[in-house]
């Protein structure tokens, strides 16, 4: 299975490398038989979705759309976990502020979104541990050639 990365901006380099690394992360998280889609969009597209789906004006860095919620008892589960949308514009700005490569930011955001697709949330500081570990591991899997 794995992770498909779709670049709707036409500006995201290393899409195959990112997809491969995210597939490895998914396998390491015990979800080797599952799949997800990561869609790279621009600020305008994600701002529209952020307003429509969350009631929050303006762009955000990442949105997750799980196909299954933990409360979906009795509903058949499919291998597709859902979709993660990432704003390339916001990711680039955040990478610049943080002083790390764009690919590292994209991997961090994608791993964050995958954790949501797997049913995790970060309501408390303790909840953040699994997110931080997955995000760091995603960057490690992509490897030392993380510069894009």
Closest C-alpha among 127, 135, 144, 90 to residue 110 = 135
- Report the 10 Å Cβ neighbour count for 75: 10
Closest C-alpha among 34, 83, 88 to residue 59 = 88
Q: Would you kindly state where each structural domain of the chain is located, as residue ranges?
A: 2-142
pLDDT in tens, the chain (148 residues): 799 999 999 999 889 999 999 999 999 999 999 999 999 999 999 999 999 999 999 999 999 999 986 666 667 778 999 999 999 999 999 999 999 999 999 999 999 999 999 989 998 888 899 999 999 999 999 986 554 4
In order of 58, 81, 124, the CA distances from 5 in angstroms are: 23, 14, 30
The class (CATH top level) of 2-142 is alpha beta
Tokens of 131: 């997110």
């Amino acid at each position: 299975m794995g992770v498909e990365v779709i670049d709707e901006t036409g500006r995201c380099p290393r899409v195959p490398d990112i997809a491969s690394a995210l597939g490895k992360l998914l396998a390491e998280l015990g979800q080797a038989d599952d799949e997800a889609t990561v869609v790279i969009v621009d600020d305008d597209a994600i701002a529209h979705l952020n307003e429509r789906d969350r009631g929050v004006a303006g762009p955000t860095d990442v949105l997750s759309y799980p196909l299954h919620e933990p409360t979906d008892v009795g509903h058949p589960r499919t291998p597709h976990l859902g979709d993660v949308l990432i704003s390339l514009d916001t990711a680039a700005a955040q990478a610049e502020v943080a002083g790390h490569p764009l690919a590292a930011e994209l991997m961090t955001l994608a791993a964050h979104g995958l954790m949501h697709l797997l049913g995790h949330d970060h309501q408390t500081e303790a909840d953040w541990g699994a997110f931080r570990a997955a995000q760091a591991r995603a960057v490690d899997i992509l490897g030392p050639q993380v510069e894009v």
